Amino acid sequence: MLATLIHGPRDIRATEVADPRVEKPTDAVVRVVASCICGSDLWPYRGVQETKKTHPIGHEFVGVVEEVGDEVRDLRVGQFVIAPFVVSDGTCVNCRNGVQTSCLHGASWGADDQDGLAVPGGQSARIRVPWADGTLVGTDEMPPDALIPSLLTLSDVMSTGHHAAVSAGVGPGRTVAVVGDGAVGLCGVLAAKRLGAERVVLFSRHPDRQALGREFGADTVLEERGDAGVEAVHALFDGVGPDCVLECVGTKESMDQALRSVRPGGHVGYVGVPSGGAELPIRLMFGGNINVAGGVAPARAYIPELLPDVLSGAIDPGRVFDLTLPLAEVADGYTAMDERRAIKVLLQP
Amino acid sequence: MLATLIHGPRDIRATEVADPRVEKPTDAVVRVVASCICGSDLWPYRGVQETKKTHPIGHEFVGVVEEVGDEVRDLRVGQFVIAPFVVSDGTCVNCRNGVQTSCLHGASWGADDQDGLAVPGGQSARIRVPWADGTLVGTDEMPPDALIPSLLTLSDVMSTGHHAAVSAGVGPGRTVAVVGDGAVGLCGVLAAKRLGAERVVLFSRHPDRQALGREFGADTVLEERGDAGVEAVHALFDGVGPDCVLECVGTKESMDQALRSVRPGGHVGYVGVPSGGAELPIRLMFGGNINVAGGVAPARAYIPELLPDVLSGAIDPGRVFDLTLPLAEVADGYTAMDERRAIKVLLQP
């Protein structure tokens, strides 16, 4: 079967590898229906994050269960499943607390699990899923093809945008600004509106992303950044800024934009994977009572809440995919995202 | 009248100055019944914070209104009042949002207001209070003398401990650890119990503070610090730590203790004034979904909520005062706190 391997910077290829199989009684094997490329996959692709040895890559996929181990109870062969972007046992104290990303027995797609067994990457045709009951969320019925892209966003970007909104305390009557117009930021707009935000402002300079942001519910788009961006967003909200800011990038500049944009006493929900130099300036936070919450989104905790709205068509986050490629052409997908020709690339095995 | 002036490191004296008077129609003049010395007053005292010119000091007091300006509506001469530790107009957008510490027209005790008029320090016999309606909280009746110390803590330490607990999301069923056994940390224990915490752990090595912490409701006291402290508090809570940690010191070490003690997905409420090197490690926070909230406590927002419990005797935070001196001996009070011979010093004019 085909699996995507990263060998080093800008060296990513779909390669024939052996089919995975059930190795432990808690495993399942899933045939991938769709997977995708994440903004964070670009970090090793660009060499910002070192690739020490060749390994499988990808952490977002949906598919159909082909085989289950003897101890799998909640899933059946033939069932459609959504995979969150990390593996979790579903039973440890952190999983019970809804923080499956900190599972005591968890694993990352594309790395080895705690027993040293390889876990395949998401950009593959078939995948062994450890802790299948704890990790996967199954649907009752086989969803129509048209919903696949939106279901796939629950693996990561929609759950992550939702995490930013929840962490920022978005709710009815709240005013919101979103820093970042990538797939996560756009899903953050959608999540904020879904949670009842009164007004949502999106920082964006790209016409196509601005357009999708507006369709997802952004009431205002601001092209300004830095000091001008802070001034512009303050002017929109009583001169002090919105109640909530969603930080969906992870750079020092984007976090600075978020912290300076939010009103005193407001909340920054951050989900951008922190890149170099993003330490938080505590004095600025202290003086203005700026609260910072978020982190790596526990998608497994959110999928059951978001799934009904995707199945009903109430939200359509799958619109963030603007390029679809066969898995065999995965390298072209990375190039398109790296060059910002695509917001997010969907892969079909 | 007597007012405390700071001239430089370890040079603080009560000095005769002119009586204050109503300067603006929104002012009141208050005769101080009791004031006190704050842990943060030790910073300029020790020279950690520079004193560029001689100025009045102190930001916590209770007293009786002696005179009001023509535009003061909510207070009357003869009324007992509690002063929060900053001046606020009560009408700007930040005040309306409950973040009076970010008042657009606010001022600090002991500095000049936005019109360049001096604002007296709290460690004085009489004080001109700008924005009297916005700043002061009056009681319906003259409280008994026995309640003065507890009422005085509402100016700062009890409101600040409460802010730490609220910011950390403390509520019924929550597990809590408190870093810092000074007056604020001890009030944090009291606040956490008042908010319904299931179990409260206090980090403390001082027998007298441990004892008061237990009387305030701490279920467990831990003497360990650093790695050993993290290990000990994790062991108490499912191996992962409590839901909430109150950071009531402000050093790099104390924030590190707090961030590493809390469970994944947990909340750190911080109120310790940040000292050098306390930038927040965002990668640690991101990976564990550690939320950080708090800052300079908007005491003005909390006093109305806490006041009934003080008046009824339900809470007695005034027990943090373990030394009472006449205002004339204020310098001895600073020495006692600097040498840790006193937790907190009450001053009587």
Render pLDDT for A45-100 as a digit per residue (tens, 0 to 9): 999 889 999 999 999 999 999 999 999 999 999 999 999 999 999 999 999 999 99
The verdict on B94 touching A (C-beta cutoff 8 Å) is: yes
Instruction: Encode pLDDT of A267-293 as tens digits.
Output: 999 998 888 766 899 999 999 999 999
- % of chain B surpassing 70 pLDDT: 99
Nearest-CA residue of chain A relative to B255? A282
The CATH fold of domain B2-156+298-348? Quinone Oxidoreductase; Chain A, domain 1 (3.90.180)
Rounded Cα distance between B176 and B285, Å, is: 18
Dig out the tokens for B101 from the structure.
Answer: 């510490």
- What span, in angstroms and rounded, lies between the C-alpha atoms of B111 and B53? 11
- In this complex, the residue of A97, A98, A291 whose CB is nearest that of residue B293 is A291
- CB < 8 Å to A290, chain B: 295
Model confidence at B204, pLDDT cuts 50, 70, 90, reads very high
The mean per-residue pLDDT over the stretch B245-256 comes to: 94
Q: Which residues contact B339 (CB under 8 A, 6 or more apart)?
A: none
Cα–Cα distance measured from residue A312 to residue A316, given in angstroms and rounded to the nearest whole number: 9
Candidate from A94, A265, A282 with C-beta closest to B98: A265
pLDDT, tens digit (0-9, with 9 covering 90-100), for B184-196? 999 999 999 999 9
Q: Which residues of A touch B238 (CB under 8 A)?
A: 93
pLDDT in tens, A196-216: 999 999 999 999 999 999 999
Q: Where in chain B is the domain with CATH 3.90.180.10?
A: 2-156+298-348
Tokens at B199, concatenated:
């179990």
CA distance B66 to chain A (A): 32
Check A265 against B167: CB less than 8 A apart.
no
Partners of A40 on chain B (C-beta within 8 Å) are none
Minimal-distance CA residue of chain B relative to A237: B93
Task: Report the 10 Å Cβ neighbour count for B174.
Answer: 21
Residue B122 has pLDDT above 90, yes or no: yes
DSSP letter (8 states) at residue B159: H
Across B319-335, average pLDDT = 98
CATH number of A158-294: 3.40.50.720
Q: Does A273 touch chain B (CB under 8 A)?
A: yes
In chain A, ranges of CATH 3.40.50.720 domains: 158-294
Q: Which residues contact B104 (CB under 8 A, 6 or more apart)?
A: B89, B92, B93, B94
Tokens at residue B324, please? 């009472």
Closest to A179 measured CA to CA, from A264, A279, A270, A286: A270
- Asked whether the beta carbons of residue B295 and residue A287 sit closer than 8 angstroms, the reply is yes
Buried b (16+ CB within 10 A) or exposed e, A19-28: ebebbbebbb
Tell me whether residue B100 is exposed, middle or buried, using C-beta atoms within 10 angstroms of its C-beta: 0 to 12, 13 to 18, 19 or more. Answer: buried
Mean pLDDT of chain A: 96
B contacts of A285 (beta carbons < 8 Å): 280, 292, 295
B223 at the A interface (CB within 8 A)? no
The answer, yes or no, to whether residue B278 has pLDDT greater than 70, is no
User: Percentage of residues in chain A with pLDDT exceeding 70?
Assistant: 99
Q: Which of A179, A159, A161, A197 is nearest to A306 (CA)?
A: A159
Query: Measured between CB atoms, which of B238, B274, B288 is closest to A102?
Result: B288
Q: What is the mean pLDDT of residues B203-207?
A: 96
Residue A280 has phi, psi (to 5 degrees) of -90, 135
Residue entry with tokens 């999983």: A95
Residues 6+ positions from A145 with CB-CB distance below 8 Å: none
Class of domain B160-294: alpha beta
In 3-state terms, what secondary structure has residue B56?
strand
